Structure formats: structure tokens, C-alpha cells
Structure 1
């Protein structure tokens, strides 16, 4: 073996020390950013196409999404019935019948007081005018400005060139069309929900079977289990807290003298499923009910004040404390998601906005190319809801 030249480099067997470049490489490996502009372009086109499909086919996709979310809520109950040797088909039917029966009974029990308050609304207009007498002068001034603007627009436009076309379908036709669409959506939701509960983990098993790599199989199982655990925990916790809000609101309305406390408790329970926007709408409802019920303006402000206090205790203290470990979503994105899905699918979209955003974050956190989006969706521990 020839002797080694003294000019030859000496090989160093010591491990290299970490530096800034290696740290950046590790960061890029953990949260990669796509560098190809075509990736953003194609991803944007795919997102727009998917949103357009969700909007156009909302009559079909919305019941399916609602059934999937309800499946996550009812799946633990079906599994519990299965452990006591109840067949899955029977357990799924029992769970759906219990939920449907509860909703039908609640609607039947609350329909009479709701109709009574609807009849009191026209009779309470003079009382509302008496409460809002402070705002009469600003409203009249604003109306005067609007009238002057309309007169100026009419004077500058061509005379005789306006053609009014009025199409009135009638109240009965509108109610019939709305009722039919709601019933169709409910039937589709119940049908899809039943078969989802009966199938159990069938779709997950088929996905695991067709994935080529073991790491992909394990990742699919991990994502599915995490979605089921987190969303089920979220829905159960929110339902329990909303029930507590409903009971507290009913008791508060009873103590302050507002009639039909069960109706107001059910209203608070349902509105609390829509974060932020639901309680804001509820304050307006309780303010209107207080003005219709009490002669004094200060006494009329008591129902919305009590409702706001109950919501602050629940929404700012109890619920974030229970959900902070599972859900840390960006509050700005939560608001944007609520507004967007309400525009897309109405009230059901607003109810499904937070669960869908949470599912998106769970998937993004576990799929390496989407970790950047998952990090963007994350918020602080104080913004759990």
C-alpha cells in the first residue's frame, strides 16, 4: 500500500456540528413550502372548482356532509349498543329514532308558544315605537336624506323610461317550496346517516386495502381515528354546554318575568351551535322580546343582558377550557368560515363551518405537503372555539 501524501486531506470521523443551514433544512423538511408556481395555480383552480361544485350541488352534498358529521356524533352510541350484543343495524336505527323523536317532540312542544309570540308581534308595534322614541329623530333625518337622493335621481333620469315588472309567486307557493326542500334534505340526511352508521369502518378498511405503502395505511388510520375522536368530543362537549346554556337561559327568563321560558331556553340552545354570530343574533331576539313584554326600557334590557352574561361565562371560560387541548383554530378564519359557509349553504352551513374547519386542520397536520396550511389554521389556546 503506497504511503499517503502529506498534502492529502485528513478525513475527520467526528460528526458535523449543527449550523444554521442544517436547522433550516430540518425546518423545510418538517414544513415544506412548494416552490413551483404551477402548484399554487393548479391548487387554486382545483379549490375554485371544488367550491363551485359544492355550491351548485348543495342540495345533494349538504345532506351528505351533515350525515357524516352526525355519524361522528352517533357512532359512539352505536358502538356502545353493539357491545351489549345489539346488532349494528338495530343500534343505528335506535340512535336515529331517538334523535328524530327528540327533535319532533321539541318542535311540537315549542310550536304553540312560538305561534303566540308571532301573534303578539303586530300588537306590540306601538310599544316598540315608545321604546325607540329616542331614535325617531335620527331615523327621520336619514329618511329625509334618502328621499332627497331619490328625487334627485328621478329628476336626472329619462322620464317614462321605467318599466316595472313584478312577479309574485304567493306566500303559499313559497312556503310549499321551502318546506319541500327541507323535507327532501332531511330525508336524504337520515337515509345516508343510517347506512353510514351501519357500514361502520367499511370505507376506512377499503382505503387501507388499496393504499400501496404501510406508512400510507398507518397515516390513513391515524387521520380517521383523530377526526372521529376530536370531532365527536367537540360535538358532545358543545351539545352539553349548549344544553347548560339553554337551561340557564330558561331559568333566567323565568326569574325576570319573560313568558315561555322553555321557548327561550330552546332558542339559546340552538343559536349557540353557531359560534359568535348565533349569540349576536340571540341578543337581538331577546331585546325584541323584552321590548314586547315590558313597559320600562331598562327592564326590557334585562333579558338580553342576562343572556349575554350567560354566553360570556360559557363561551369565554368553560368551553375554551374544555376544548383548548383539541381545538386551537384561528379565530379570524373561524369568522370567515362562518360567513362563507352561511353564504354557501345557509344556517346548516354556519353550523357545519367549525367542524369542517377542524377536520381540514386535522388532515393538514398529518399530510406532509399540507402542514403549512395546518399551521396557518392553528390559533392560540385561548381561541379554542
Structure 2
């Protein structure tokens, strides 16, 4: 008997390719529009509250970031059986003792450079006489816009406007930092105890570990690289004839915590210092050029190689974050901008409904 059923023809090459592409196509992301809108509204409300309550929130955020920075040191002290309270006190004393020591070391050279300014300005104007007309035009434009006749005063006032909150909250920062280091994982344990489901408990622990590990590695790596930049800058400035290597090294170390804006300010400062110190106009730009080379090697080659696998933030959002937090909290806000943006991205990556926001933040 003949089989009258239709035999299935063998698949063609085109069908195989289409089927293979369908199998390889990644699953579509399911976006909860309501949750994304609520998250955006929450972010806007949080930014508004951060600006209005900067005197309270800045010490708290700074203490939290410093806690993440000091966490590896706390782990090492706990391994050698040092009590947590004593370990926290030792870490804080060592950190702020280092700050006081560096401040005392650079205060003398900084005052000396400030004393040179009145005598050095006529020489600077003579060297930059070809820029006199553009500068005068700019000053006239600023006067017409209602600005002050002395842009330098306005700039310094803007630069340290938010820093006053940091100075006034210094004691609060130290106090909060001490108790955060002492508490350890207490808040995480309480959070795990409150959450009803086991999956939520596990997600909270994993998210906390990711934030602590990634941000600690980021802060330690950046601090180490900034230390190398400070050492290289100090030696370079000493070799070019500017002198005061400790002053320039500390300045480069601090400025390198602020992406983009810090190095730009450093180039301007070294240009100004070179013109005041070095007689030859061409050689006066050498300190700024060498500092720029050091920054490019560190910022474009070494640091991305160390952190690219952990942090891939959108550079446009980094710039916007720097501008906002500098406006809201001053210099301290600019330093904290990237760590806060990285923490927010880690939280979005760890919570499934917020994955689209984390994907948007990715570089």
C-alpha cells in the first residue's frame, strides 16, 4: 500500500539561518512603565531634598562613602582580633591625622605663593599681553551682564559655596563615620530580619555585598592612583623649577578625585604658576603640559584598565552628575558625584524591575 501522506521537505539553508538567528536573539526586556516612572519621580524628589537639606545629608553621605573606603582596613584589623570600636578609632585617627599633617605641610608654601601674587601679576600681564584685548572684551561683557568687576572673587565664591556646609559638618561626619564603622553589618541584619521572603533576604545581602565590594575597590584603586599622580606631579614640578613638590603633589592628589573638572583646574593652576616663576614664556607652559601628560596616562590608560570591568558609566551622565553635585554641595559634592552614581547603578542592576535604568546608566 502506498503512503499518501505528504513528506516534509528538508529545511533550506535560509530557514536554518533564520531559526539560528531566532535562537540567538536575546530575550526582550520587560519594562514596568509604572515602576520606572515612580523611580524617576523618587530620584527627582531625592535630588531636591539633597539640595535643600545639604547641611544634613552631606556629612551623612560623606561618612557612608568613607566607611566603604575604610572597610578593607577594618577587615584586616578584625582578622588580628582588634575590637571593632578600637579599630574604628584607629582608622579615623590615622586618616584625619594624615589630613592634618598634609595641611600643615602645604600651608607654608601655599601662603608663600599667595604672597607672590601682587608682585607677579604685572609680570604675568606682560607675558600675556597678546591676550589683553580678549580678556578686556570678556570683562566688559561680564559687566554688561551685571557681574562683578573682579571675576576671580566670584569664581572663588562659587567654588567654595557648598564647601562651607562640609566644613560646618566636619564633626557630624566624624561622629557618623565612627558609629557606622562600629555598627558593621548591624543594619543589614535588621533589614534581612524585616524582609518577609527568603528571595528578598538573599537579594538584600547580595546587593549590599556588591555595593560594598565594588565601591570599596573603586575608592581604594582611585586613591592609590591619585597618590601616584601626586608623587609624579610633585617630582615633575620640582624638576621643572616650580619647587614645593609637597604642595603641588597634594594639590594634584585632591584634584584628581574630581573627573574632568579637577584636571582642567590643575592645568590652569600650573599654567599660572609657570608663568609666575619661569622667565621664558614657552618654557613656562612646560609644567602644565607635563601635568596634562601625567593625567592622560593615568586617566586614559591605567585607571580604565583597572576599573573597566566593574564600572562602565555613561560619560554624559557623569558630566551631568558632576555639574549638579558641584552646584548643590560644592567641591565635596563633585568628589562624591561618581561614587554616588556608581552606587545608584549597582542598586538598579541588583533590582530586577530597575534593570532598564541601570542599562541606561551603563557606558
TM-score range, shorter chain: 0.7 to 0.9
Within a 5 Å distance, the mapping from 1:142-221 to structure 2 comes to 181-221=165-205
Superposed displacement of residue 22, structure 1: 9.4
Contact 1:127 1:295 survives alignment (8 Å): no
Query: What stretches of structure 2 of length at least 5 have no aligned partner?
Result: 1-17, 147-160
Alignment-derived partner of residue 296 in structure 1: 280
Alignment-derived partner of residue 7 in structure 1: none
Within a 5 Å distance, the mapping from 1:86-101 to structure 2 comes to 86-101=82-97
Contact 1:290 1:302 survives alignment (8 Å): yes
For 2:187 and 2:105, locate their aligned partners in 1 and report how far apart those are by CA, in whole Å: 39
Q: Does the alignment pair 1:367 with 2:363? A: no
Contact 1:245 1:311 survives alignment (8 Å): yes
For 2:99 and 2:71, locate their aligned partners in 1 and report how far apart those are by CA, in whole Å: 19
Alignment-derived partner of residue 12 in structure 2: none
For 2:290 and 2:163, locate their aligned partners in 1 and report how far apart those are by CA, in whole Å: 34
Alignment-derived partner of residue 157 in structure 2: none
1:303–1:32: structure 2 CA closer, same or farther, 3 Å change rule? Answer: same
For 1:187 and 1:326, locate their aligned partners in 2 and report how far apart those are by CA, in whole Å: 33
Which residue of 130, 137, 148 corresponds with 1:134?
130
1:206–1:144: structure 2 CA closer, same or farther, 3 Å change rule? Answer: closer
Q: Does the alignment pair 1:263 with 2:261? A: no
For 1:33 and 1:203, locate their aligned partners in 2 and report how far apart those are by CA, in whole Å: 31
For 1:223 and 1:43, locate their aligned partners in 2 and report how far apart those are by CA, in whole Å: 18
For 2:340 and 2:102, locate their aligned partners in 1 and report how far apart those are by CA, in whole Å: 27
Alignment-derived partner of residue 314 in structure 1: 298
1:142–1:342: structure 2 CA closer, same or farther, 3 Å change rule? Answer: closer
1:64–1:18: structure 2 CA closer, same or farther, 3 Å change rule? Answer: farther
Alignment-derived partner of residue 340 in structure 2: 356
Figure out how many residues of one structure are paired with residues of the other and give that number: 332
> Greater Rg, structure 1 or structure 2?
1
1:77–1:181: structure 2 CA closer, same or farther, 3 Å change rule? Answer: same
SS at match of 2:27: helix
Superposed displacement of residue 86, structure 1: 0.8
Q: CA RMSD in A?
A: 2.5
For 1:134 and 1:34, locate their aligned partners in 2 and report how far apart those are by CA, in whole Å: 59
For 2:110 and 2:349, locate their aligned partners in 1 and report how far apart those are by CA, in whole Å: 45
Query: What stretches of structure 1 of length at least 5 have no aligned partner?
Result: 1-16, 154-176, 380-385
For 1:195 and 1:144, locate their aligned partners in 2 and report how far apart those are by CA, in whole Å: 53
Q: Does the alignment pair 1:125 with 2:159? A: no
Contact 2:203 2:350 survives alignment (8 Å): yes
Q: How does the TM-score come out when normalised to structure 1?
A: 0.81
Alignment-derived partner of residue 283 in structure 1: 267
Alignment-derived partner of residue 34 in structure 1: 32
Alignment-derived partner of residue 116 in structure 1: 112
For 1:78 and 1:22, locate their aligned partners in 2 and report how far apart those are by CA, in whole Å: 48
1:213–1:196: structure 2 CA closer, same or farther, 3 Å change rule? Answer: same
SS at match of 1:326: coil
Tell which has more relative contact order, 1 or 2 (C-alpha 8 A, sep 6+).
2
1:302–1:196: structure 2 CA closer, same or farther, 3 Å change rule? Answer: same
Once the two structures are superposed, what CA deviation does each residue of 1:57-99 show, in whole Å capped at 9, x if it has no partner? 1111110000000001111211211111110000000000000
